[in-house]
Structure 1
Amino acid sequence: MNADERRLRRLELVVTRRLDGLLHGSYLGLLPGLGSEPAGSREYRPAEDEVRRMDWAVTARTSVPHVRTVDADRELATWVLVDASASMDFGTAELEKRELAVAAVAAVGFLTLGNGNRLGAFVMTPGDTRRFPARPGRLPLMGILRALSESPRAAGAASLAEGMRKMPTKSGLVVIVSDFLDGLDEDGLGPKPPEWEQSLRRLAARHQVLAIQVGDPREQELPDVGILTLVDPETGRRREVPTASRRLRERYAAAATHQQATIAAAIRRAGAAHLPLRTDRDWIADIVRHVHARRRLSRAVNKKRGLS
């Protein structure tokens, strides 16, 4: 067993030991909510139902607004879109963002395995997108994780919007793992929405979508270490930054905060769930907190609708 295999094995043990028993009890463990199998229709409830679930045929026939109802699939198809561009090859804490992305995919895979569930993936590298068919079981998942770990590091960007457009159209669960820095205005400070927002909105209209955003603390604030050489891994641009300047560090932190708010707002507007993970945090604890929060929200919505 080589070093990569040992790392993947340790990752599997960490995920299964810490998550086993914590997140059971709901079929869609990561993103509880509606399924995708048609189960009829009912009258539309203002302020509760989403217009995108309108059943226009029944509405036209009865002259009363109706929405489609669905049952949870007995076999869940989960598709993961993973950003493996050069910006992910960065990390100043316990992990690189790329390693955190592998860990996130492992958590998604082990949480959704079982009952015949299938997991497929698209891995985006600069200039190429590799597709892994959706298959059940542990071995296909380990193959995806191995491919991610061994993916060659190369300069250049990968188009997140283009990757989203390649996702299957059949309804299911879609998980996007990225830093979401692609497609922003210069420094992420411009008024335009990210280029990937429209593609994410289209995905969320057909699927349940979870956006896992991986980040590093040095993307949020600069340390005071004198002259620091920064290199853009996707373009190769270099810049000497005088980090001793308090004013510069404050401007950097403010710009980073604005950039993160822009990304979070775009994900929210698109209708996707948002799970931020950082290389300096307990990522498994963050996943557990996210799932419990989604479950509480789902129970509250169901109680309001009189379904529980």
Structure 2
Amino acid sequence: METSELLKRVRHIEIKARGLSRNIFAGQYHSAFKGRGMAFSEVREYQYGDDMRDIDWNVTARYNRPYVKIFEEERELTVMLLIDVSESLGFGSSGKIKRDTVAEIAATLAFSAIQNNDKIGVIFFSDKVEKFIPPKKGRKHILFIIREILGFEPESCGTDINLALRYMTNAIKKRCTTFLISDFIDTGNYKFALRIANRKHDIVAIQVYDKLSTELPPLGLMKVMDPETGGEMWIDTSSKSVRSDYAMWWQRRQSEMMLAFKQSGVDNVSVSTEEDFVKALLLLFQRRR
């Protein structure tokens, strides 16, 4: 992508994402992703009903009457975007490829995080970890992230969610909220890594898919290619059994993915490239309140 074109796209997505995060997501995001830690705030005299475990014995001894520690929720979060950049994200049947929707969602979440004074970082992954951007604050950092999201060229084609989750779990020591954004077209098993990651962090899965991926249209002979392996084959889409088998494959795949989310306790949402991702994210946020 040429520099001038990239800058135009960065500016366009900045305007759109900033407006969405300021006008729509601000309160919803804050409520859905509260700080999980507790920080010491002050001490006050013991009152009936206070937890004995909160007594500050040093202050109590100094003033010869009981005092308790008061804690406040740590509002600042560390937010990680775990972004799939595999070749399958380059597919789109309605004039918009999956990668574009991923970029818009990621940018909107990034601006929402910054407006809530959260740090944000990114891990781009294919079947390897392509790039790690450590979490920071600030508009300059956000624009750098968006430029990377729009212009990043992966070295590899495949998908390995298991590897990406394990890397993130080891790389980020402090508990964080992680948005895993992918089409989840992965032949590997990532259930165990997802469960482990969600124990240490707060994982939220966002699936981006294309409607054509859910069912085959009756168009006769069609040559299809796997963008991640380069494999090609001809299929007869006029055959009802072929279309039925494909639909069953898709449903089975979705069921396995949803089961992995459920067993791992991971909140999730699926977004089609044809639908408004804003509504889908708002529903996700509301479920977490």
The TM tier, using the shorter chain, reads 0.7 to 0.9
Note if 1:183 corresponds to 2:187: yes
Greater percentage in helix: 2
Note if 1:206 corresponds to 2:210: no
8 A contact 2:98–2:208 mirrored in 1: yes
In 2, the alpha carbon distance for the partners of 1:153 and 1:208 equals 26
Alpha carbons of structure 1 residues 254 and 72: separation in structure 2 relative to 1, 3 Å: farther
Find the partner of 1:5 among 4, 7, 25: 7
Note if 1:241 corresponds to 2:245: no
Q: Secondary structure at the match of 2:258?
A: helix
8 A contact 2:180–2:205 mirrored in 1: yes
8 A contact 1:35–1:71 mirrored in 2: no
Note if 1:90 corresponds to 2:128: no
In 2, the alpha carbon distance for the partners of 1:27 and 1:158 equals 29
The CA RMSD measured in Å over matched residues stands at 2.4
Alpha carbons of structure 1 residues 137 and 33: separation in structure 2 relative to 1, 3 Å: closer
Note if 1:256 corresponds to 2:250: yes
Which residue does 2:49 correspond to in 1?
none
8 A contact 1:15–1:284 mirrored in 2: no
> For residues 66-105 of structure 1, what are the structure 2 equivalents within 5 Å?
72-105=73-106
> For residues 119-158 of structure 1, what are the structure 2 equivalents within 5 Å?
119-152=120-153, 156-158=157-159
Percent identity between the two aligned chains: 24
Find the partner of 2:177 among 173, 182, 192: 173
Query: Which structure 1 residue ranges, 4+ long, deviate > 4 Å from structure 2?
Result: none
TM-score scaled by length of structure 1 = 0.76
Q: Secondary structure at the match of 2:157?
A: coil
Task: Return the offset for 1:154.
Answer: 5.7
- State which structure, 1 or 2, has the greater radius of gyration over its C-alpha atoms: 2
8 A contact 1:77–1:117 mirrored in 2: yes
Task: Return the offset for 1:169.
Answer: 2.7
In 2, the alpha carbon distance for the partners of 1:128 and 1:294 equals 29
Residue ranges of structure 2 left out of the alignment (5+ in a row): 41-52, 54-70
Letter of the structure 1 residue corresponding to residue 118 of structure 2: N
Alpha carbons of structure 1 residues 155 and 35: separation in structure 2 relative to 1, 3 Å: closer
Q: Secondary structure at the match of 1:23?
A: helix
Q: Secondary structure at the match of 2:203?
A: strand
In 2, the alpha carbon distance for the partners of 1:272 and 1:252 equals 27
**Segment drifting more, 125-134 vs 263-272:** 125-134
Q: Number of residues paired by the alignment?
A: 257
In 1, the alpha carbon distance for the partners of 2:85 and 2:112 equals 22
Q: In the TM superposition, what whole-angstrom CA distance separates every residue of 1:46-90 from its partner, at most 9, and x where no partner exists? A: xxxxxxxxxxxx9xxxxxxxxxxx854232110111110112111
> For residues 191-202 of structure 1, what are the structure 2 equivalents within 5 Å?
195-202=189-196
Q: Secondary structure at the match of 2:27?
A: coil
In 2, the alpha carbon distance for the partners of 1:201 and 1:245 equals 40
**Segment drifting more, 143-152 vs 80-89:** 143-152
8 A contact 1:36–1:73 mirrored in 2: yes
In 2, the alpha carbon distance for the partners of 1:156 and 1:115 equals 35
Task: Return the offset for 1:109.
Answer: 0.4
Task: Return the offset for 1:33.
Answer: 5.3
TM-score scaled by length of structure 2 = 0.81
Task: Return the offset for 1:179.
Answer: 1.3
Which residue does 1:24 correspond to in 2?
26
Note if 1:229 corresponds to 2:229: no
Residue ranges of structure 1 left out of the alignment (5+ in a row): 40-57, 59-69, 185-194, 296-308
Alpha carbons of structure 1 residues 23 and 150: separation in structure 2 relative to 1, 3 Å: closer
In 2, the alpha carbon distance for the partners of 1:278 and 1:71 equals 39
In 1, the alpha carbon distance for the partners of 2:35 and 2:256 equals 28
8 A contact 2:222–2:235 mirrored in 1: yes
In 1, the alpha carbon distance for the partners of 2:213 and 2:223 equals 14
Q: Secondary structure at the match of 2:24?
A: coil
Task: Return the offset for 1:156.
Answer: 2.7
Which residue does 1:306 correspond to in 2?
none
Task: Return the offset for 1:294.
Answer: 2.5
Task: Return the offset for 1:244.
Answer: 0.8
Alpha carbons of structure 1 residues 116 and 294: separation in structure 2 relative to 1, 3 Å: closer
Letter of the structure 2 residue corresponding to residue 5 of structure 1: L
Which residue does 1:14 correspond to in 2?
16
